[in-house]
Structure 1
């Protein structure tokens, strides 16, 4: 798979403050990569470096095989970008701003624009100074999704949107994903990332702490098992790989180590299994593993 985005040991210092430290990850052609971390973790700083807005202090960063700082203009012709807080020209209407963005990009689809205006329930005749934060966000999203790009970068794109409009955004991103487009999605809304992303990159305090597919990362945490047996389920508490055991009657809920699942299933079978349910950890579980405390 060809790499669309590639960073190697990217660092960024603001004075003495080390904002990014050896950030390394890649995004392949047609991949949707969820870039997650809380405010201040370094997500937006990384994205601004990728866009050529700020210069990295060290390391390498490329998009389409081009240096993000030296060749930013050539890169920008092939990308769509939406920040978490869209700033607009106050005296232009939303429709005028969308059309201007499309014209600057050079590959706008007016039919798609009109469809998105309707789906996002935006009044395009209203001046931007009268827009709420959510409506400003809609203008940015409609403009970005109305043009043909090879790479879409979204940095907290649904900030200010209600859940219904957030669902519309997810549906539209699914469409461009199905079309084989490449997407870098930075968000703190974990179910949004979990629903859309092929790969997850978790950043903490300016460093990448985990990366891989969601299934890959799920091996790092334990599934939650609910077990109901005919005989006394308390015997399961001493089984290899069983942790955080909680019992109510003949039902037990516990976390299980994947490498001991054979032992757990064998012991459970001896007790007469009436119910065995295993739920894999969510992205939130993986996320909290790195941020609790």
Structure 2
């Protein structure tokens, strides 16, 4: 994957966090949806929020939108209280759900205008026109005739046309084709370049990996991993693929090194995983093998995610096999 470095706008570094959650708890009867959740979205950054269904993501977003009161803990949104200051805060943010329901008798353009007026904040008309063009949405058609993807585009155009300080995006590209997903990613990058903060909840891990500055993985209502992708990758192992010549020395010494795991020798090709803190001495040992080719792949976000939920997936597979 090729990434392009993005500079956070200078103005964002002088603001407080867009979202700050500490030790948040919320239960529904005997079901504990949030169990001491901590989450921070710094100003001007894109923060990924990951977890399977039932992990607590939707409950967290509903608390941030002022739709639910937490049982305990604190949640701050743009410096205010999400519940007490909901009206004023909603003028400063835009929200896109994963399942958009619209007024079927209104046209797409009328719906976008209504959503923007409901915020009671400024609208950049030129930006709105560009968004309609980029998302290839016909605003003259009734929303009742729209496909799921086009209904999603209505919410995205309204959110991205708004002069919002914070975008709360909950599965925002649900129903979009790959071309429109790429357009969405470009629009998010442009928004953060203007200083907008973004909380992105998505099951499309490649999307999160491409866009996010930080990632929080939630499990059982609490954050189990949080940090930049680089920081999270340092907590796990990289994959190493080596090609050696026919007269290369034995690989026994390599297999015995601390931090080397799952070594597979297939002719002149060696594949193994290595703890990131062991990479320096392992690469020195690889020099003794006189390699013809060497590839070191950091773990993908998918691998990081599955590492947290692998036991649950194994349990589900076991149940399917019964």
* TM score, norm. by length of structure 2: 0.88
**Larger displacement relative to structure 2 (52-61 or 137-146):** 52-61
Residues 49, 68 of structure 1: 8 Å contact kept: yes
- Matches of residues 1-293 of structure 1 in structure 2 within 5 Å? 1=13, 2-105=16-119, 106-230=121-245, 231-232=248-249, 234-235=251-252, 236-293=254-311
3-state secondary structure, aligned to 1:66 = coil
Gaps of 5+ in 1: none
Q: Find the aligned partners of 1:262 and 1:17 in 2 and give their Cα distance.
A: 46
Q: Find the aligned partners of 1:42 and 1:14 in 2 and give their Cα distance.
A: 12
Residues 84, 158 of structure 1: 8 Å contact kept: yes
Q: Find the aligned partners of 2:277 and 2:133 in 1 and give their Cα distance.
A: 51
Q: Find the aligned partners of 1:76 and 1:233 in 2 and give their Cα distance.
A: 65
Q: Find the aligned partners of 2:198 and 2:42 in 1 and give their Cα distance.
A: 9
For residue 232 of structure 1, report the CA deviation from its aligned partner: 4.2
Residues 249, 288 of structure 2: 8 Å contact kept: no
3-state secondary structure, aligned to 1:3 = coil
- Residues 133 and 273 of structure 1: CA distance in aligned 2, closer, same or farther (over 3 Å): same
Q: Find the aligned partners of 2:203 and 2:236 in 1 and give their Cα distance.
A: 20
Q: Find the aligned partners of 1:233 and 1:262 in 2 and give their Cα distance.
A: 20
The CA RMSD measured in Å over matched residues stands at: 1.2
Number of residues of Structure 1 aligned to a counterpart in Structure 2: 293
3-state secondary structure, aligned to 1:256 = strand
Q: Find the aligned partners of 1:173 and 1:271 in 2 and give their Cα distance.
A: 46
Residues 232, 250 of structure 1: 8 Å contact kept: no
Q: Find the aligned partners of 1:167 and 1:265 in 2 and give their Cα distance.
A: 37
For residue 24 of structure 1, report the CA deviation from its aligned partner: 0.9
* TM score, norm. by length of structure 1: 0.97
Q: Find the aligned partners of 2:277 and 2:78 in 1 and give their Cα distance.
A: 40
Gaps of 5+ in 2: 1-12, 312-322
Deviation track 1:25-72 (CA, whole Å, cap 9, x = no partner) reads 111111110011112211111001000011111111111221111111
Deviation track 1:215-239 (CA, whole Å, cap 9, x = no partner) reads 0000111010011223045332222
Q: Find the aligned partners of 1:232 and 1:23 in 2 and give their Cα distance.
A: 51
For residue 6 of structure 1, report the CA deviation from its aligned partner: 0.8
Deviation track 1:148-191 (CA, whole Å, cap 9, x = no partner) reads 11111100000111111111111100111122211101111011
3-state secondary structure, aligned to 1:104 = helix
For residue 260 of structure 1, report the CA deviation from its aligned partner: 2.0
Residues 241, 260 of structure 1: 8 Å contact kept: yes
Deviation track 1:183-212 (CA, whole Å, cap 9, x = no partner) reads 101111011011111100111121111100
3-state secondary structure, aligned to 1:185 = strand
- Residues 233 and 151 of structure 1: CA distance in aligned 2, closer, same or farther (over 3 Å): farther
Residues 234, 277 of structure 2: 8 Å contact kept: no
